[in-house]
Amino acid sequence: MRLVATGGTISNRTGGRLTAEELIKSMPNVERYATPEFEQFANTASSALTLEQWLQLTRRINTLFKEDAALAGVVVTSGTDTLEELAYFLNLTVRDPRPVVIVGSMRNPSTLGYEGAANLLEGFRVAAEPASRGRGVLVVMNDEINAAREVTKTDALRLHTFQTRGYGILGVVDSDRVVYYRKLERRHTSESEFDVSTVSALPRVDVFYTYQGAPGDIIKAAVDAGARGIVIATAGAGATSGTQADGMQYARAQGVAVVTTTRAGSGRIANRAGGRGTTVGGEDLAPIKARILLMLALTKTKDPAELRRIFSEY
């Protein structure tokens, strides 16, 4: 089992960050479940990781799997602020059925009640569990297993922050064993069509929030600045406000992909024929995850029909 450490609160003790080796040593009796290996990919806040580093990380994980047929799985540590984004990106770009498990912590190693070592050990247990194979990238924290596609950070401070609204957890990590209750139905990992091995940079995609009187000129400015895709976090089931519709029309006229999602926290935005035929429904993806899927989709196509297919399958 290989730990690939990127930093985050789980490493951020007072006076200096824990290294990947120190994280391994913090886990009691990890050898009961796996033979741990480790490497230090980065050691920073998750929000400081660049898109270029995302590409490097997924290539590294794919290389690990390709070069070591005996490797059971990979555990990645991440800061929690953008953990769900990194997890979903890896869910779409790691091209192997073996488990990739993302873990983090809400409290740092210098804080009373630090849960990082427990989360990390549970991450290793999940990665070592044969039933984890083929389930996509998994997020393991607070004794629960969530799918990278579905999980959301729901609270700025509490330990139970990572939840799957509407659908529920995939499983749990209990003292006796790892238990699964369901599987993710959407395409991911080894079934994904996204190969970033030769992608040098991801296209720019910006996210805009609908609010009362929202201006469309901000959308136009993003298009003029080079955005190739726009995601709108609409109100309710697709409503925009102010002059956003004008901005969206301008974007489409410039050949920029426009995806509509909902700011509600859950719910599905379907594709509709007719006057908005060039707008893509973001399905039930959160706006920040729709951005990730759109970035990857735009490395392959900008045809609206193909984009709708991609959003319906992933």
Provide the H-helix boundaries in the chain: 20-25, 51-67, 83-93, 116-128, 217-224, 244-253, 287-297, 304-313
Which of 9, 77, 240, 278 does the annotation list as catalytic? 9
Instruction: Pull the structure tokens for residue 213.
Output: 């009187």
Looking up tokens 């209990």 gives 174
Cα–Cα distances in Å, from 65 out to 68, 70, 84, 226? Answer: 5, 8, 22, 35
Cβ atoms of residues 115 and 134 within 8 Å: no
Cβ atoms of residues 135 and 102 within 8 Å: no
Cβ atoms of residues 218 and 247 within 8 Å: yes
Cβ atoms of residues 311 and 280 within 8 Å: yes
- Measured N-to-C along each axis, helices 83-93 and 287-297 cross at an angle, to the nearest 10 degrees, of 30
Residue 248: half-sphere exposure toward Cβ, Cα within 13 Å: 26
- DSSP labels, 37-54: EEEEEEEE-GGG--HHHH
Identity of residue 215: P
Catalytic residue list contains 111: no
Please list, residue by residue across 31-54, b when 16 or more beta carbons sit within 10 angstroms of its beta carbon and e when fewer do.
Answer: eebbebebebbbbbbbeebeeebb
Q: Report the distance separating Cα 140 and Cα 173, nearest Å.
A: 9
Catalytic residue annotation: 9
